[in-house]
Structure 1
Amino acid sequence: MLVVVLDLLAVFIFALTGALTASRAQLDVVGFVFVACLTAMGGGTARDVLLNREAVFWIADPRYVAVAMVAAIFVFFTAHMLESRLKALYWLDALAVAVAVPVGVAVARRMEFDWPVLLIMGMVTACIGGLARDVVCNEVPLVLKARDLYATAALAGAAIDVVVFWATGNALFSALACAGLTFFIRAGSLALGWRAPVYRSRPPRM
């Protein structure tokens, strides 16, 4: 039940970010729905395919598609009311990533995979949808921007989820710790300018 609730929440929030990106690209309502669904379900679809689950989550349960469509149509009629759609997009995306990482970890854990797979599935679930959204709408993907702690936040959240579950055996505690740390790092990047070290090219030695 925890996984289902978090998954539905992640789908809804990611769909909002997809629709906001569609509004910035000035797409029609069908474009809104398409980009919202791609964003909301891209990460989970990649996760389920990689884990070889019996059925991809939104095919097994059409409620996810309905939730994404509702979010897209809602944004289509209300996006103009936002003072800054880009700022709203960034913060909603941060919240969506924080919700999606523990879902990916929980799904892989329930299938009894080892911890490296749990880390990767947390990142895949949180990052692939946003990556697809930005590529389709011809934007520089947030996950690839050097000035944003995006994949780093997802990896750190997945890692704390694994550690807390190993220490306590409590899935709720580990999911909350994961979501909290992921959002904390992502928010720090947005609000305080936290950065990870980047590669600097140097001239070759003589």
Structure 2
Amino acid sequence: MTQVLDLVGIFVFALSGALVGVRRRLDVVGMAVLASMTALGGGILRDLILDARPVAFTSVGYVVVPLAATVIVFFWHPHVLRVMPVVNVFDAAGLGLFCAVGTEKAMNAGFSPLHAVLLGVITAVGGGVLRDVLSGQVPILLYDRQFYAVPALLGSALMAALHVADLRGWPATLAAAVLTFGLRIAAVRFRLQAPLARGVAAQE
């Protein structure tokens, strides 16, 4: 079940990466690269830090899913854009799942709670950072005007706290994922944004 949810999250992240490729007027190869980096980049970075074989290289599904998302966006991107509210819901769910799983793996590997939280955030937003760098945009992690990294940070913190309290397994993962999901959906609904330095005007 966890792998199925993982692949669903990867698919949605890949859709967002491929859509960026469309907006940047990239060809199908560029779209596939952005889709794959967005979907798999965070998990690969996490596993490399954990000194483990990246999960993305253990199953064909992790390669096929981003490519399938690229094909869908390549042919039907106007339709994908029309259902973006639904895609955003799944994206928020993927964000919650990825930060919780990343934090849990770090805690199980003996990382301190602080470092585990950082690794959870890397798992959740690392792919987006790679996507933004490759597409020539300011990484969302550095300019969190969409309130994306903060929910991942708080979800990861909850996951680490529950692990320290010896509350583990799927209930802990679900709690951290739901917190992240709820904060991200609330941010979209109420247009929440991380604050800028005092006196600095927001970019249009």
Distance 2:10 2:80 in 1: 21
Question: TM-score by structure 2 length?
Answer: 0.84
CA gap 1:177/1:139 in 2 versus in 1, 3 angstroms: same
Which residue matches 2:104?
106
Does the CA contact (< 8 Å) of 1:157 and 1:179 recur in 2? yes
Which 10-residue stretch deviates more, 35-44 or 79-88? Answer: 79-88
CA gap 1:28/1:157 in 2 versus in 1, 3 angstroms: same
CA gap 1:88/1:65 in 2 versus in 1, 3 angstroms: same
Correspondence list, 1:49-128, <5 A: 49-53=48-52, 55-83=53-81, 93-128=91-126
Q: Is 2:175 the partner of 1:177? A: yes
Which residue matches 1:200?
198
Distance 2:32 2:81 in 1: 22
CA gap 1:196/1:158 in 2 versus in 1, 3 angstroms: same
Q: Please state how far the C-alpha of 1:86 moved relative to its aligned partner.
A: 7.3
Distance 2:81 2:109 in 1: 44
Q: Please state how far the C-alpha of 1:133 moved relative to its aligned partner.
A: 0.9
Distance 2:122 2:187 in 1: 20
Which residue matches 2:13?
14
SS in 2 for 1:141: coil
Matched residues, number: 200
Q: Please state how far the C-alpha of 1:66 moved relative to its aligned partner.
A: 1.3
SS in 2 for 1:153: helix
Q: Return 5+ residue gaps in structure 2 as ranges.
A: none
Q: Please state how far the C-alpha of 1:84 moved relative to its aligned partner.
A: 5.1
Identical positions, percent: 34
Q: Which structure has the bigger radius of gyration?
A: 1
Which residue matches 1:151?
149
Does the CA contact (< 8 Å) of 2:100 and 2:120 recur in 1? yes
Q: Return 5+ residue gaps in structure 1 as ranges.
A: none
Distance 1:104 1:81 in 2: 32
Spell out, residue by residue over 1:161-183, the C-alpha distance to the aligned partner (whole angstroms, 9 max, x if none): 12234446331111111111112
Does the CA contact (< 8 Å) of 1:164 and 1:177 recur in 2? no
Q: 4+ residue runs of structure 1 moved beyond 6 angstroms? A: 85-89
Q: Please state how far the C-alpha of 1:110 moved relative to its aligned partner.
A: 3.3
Which 10-residue stretch deviates more, 70-79 or 104-113? Answer: 104-113
Question: TM-score by structure 1 length?
Answer: 0.84
Which residue matches 2:186?
188
Which residue matches 2:31?
32
